[in-house]
Structure 1
Amino acid sequence: MNNCVAHCNYCADACLDTEDIKIMVDCIRTDRACAEVCSTTAKLLAANYEEAKGMVEYCHSVCKKCADECGKHDHQQCKDCADACRKCADACAENLA
């Protein structure tokens, strides 16, 4: 999850420097949301919080959405972020199994 957080934060920051930032707005917002959700989920899991299932489900959903959004763009930071988000979504699914 922390790898996903790092990639989402990097992607959002790098997207701010793109030439046509208007087409990157959804990517940036989704990256920021995903980073926050993953960070919070990782903290809850690290604390062995028994009621974390709903957060893990939400994290899974947000990571899939972020992977889809970043996957729409050709920038390397977006491709890398989409990959990290897919891996995080897979980790969430494993945790829920």
Structure 2
Amino acid sequence: MLNSYPAGLGGVDTDAMARCIEECVACAQACTACADACLAEGMVADLAKCIRTDLDCADICTTTASVLSRHTGYDAQVTRAVLTACLAACRACADECERHAATHAHCRICAEACRSCADACAALLERLG
């Protein structure tokens, strides 16, 4: 889809952009599913911070994927800001989910998705300069 944009992407690394969008979508799905799975656990109160962090990360990843998918009127400052926020949210969520990963497989899977998304955001930020 990125390569079909009529005006081009102004020198943005389309591979890094595509990977970041894909990782954001995958992470949002993993975080949403993890929050839902946490709600199904018997100790929901113990997982309240994990649920909140999952949902925040999912929202930020969804927003980041949307912003990265729009190129008309591109604003590098906005792009950097959402990537930085996504990177921070993914790292926080990965850290929180890691706390529960030994007990809950969904938290382990979510932490992995968050770390992968954080890596993709960092890589794109680096290429944006």
Same fold, TM-score > 0.5, yes or no: yes
Q: Which aligned runs of 4 or more in structure 1 are off by greater than 3 angstroms?
A: none
Q: Distance in 1 between matches of 2:114 and 2:63?
A: 15
1:81 paired residue among 103, 110, 116: 110
1:33 paired residue among 43, 56, 59: 56
1:54 aligned to 2:77? Answer: no
Q: Distance in 1 between matches of 2:35 and 2:62?
A: 15
Q: Distance in 1 between matches of 2:123 and 2:43?
A: 38
Alignment RMSD, CA only?
0.7
Q: Distance in 1 between matches of 2:32 and 2:51?
A: 9
1:72 paired residue among 86, 90, 99: 99
Q: Where does structure 2 lack aligned partners over 5 or more consecutive residues?
A: 1-23
2:45 paired residue among 17, 22, 25: 22
Q: What's the TM-score, normalizing by structure 1?
A: 0.97
Q: What's the TM-score, normalizing by structure 2?
A: 0.73
Q: Distance in 2 between matches of 1:39 and 1:52?
A: 14
Q: Distance in 2 between matches of 1:58 and 1:6?
A: 18
* More off after superposition, 25-34 vs 50-59: 50-59
The aligned length equals 97
Partner of residue 90, structure 2: 63
Q: Where does structure 1 lack aligned partners over 5 or more consecutive residues?
A: none
* Structure with greater Cα Rg: 2
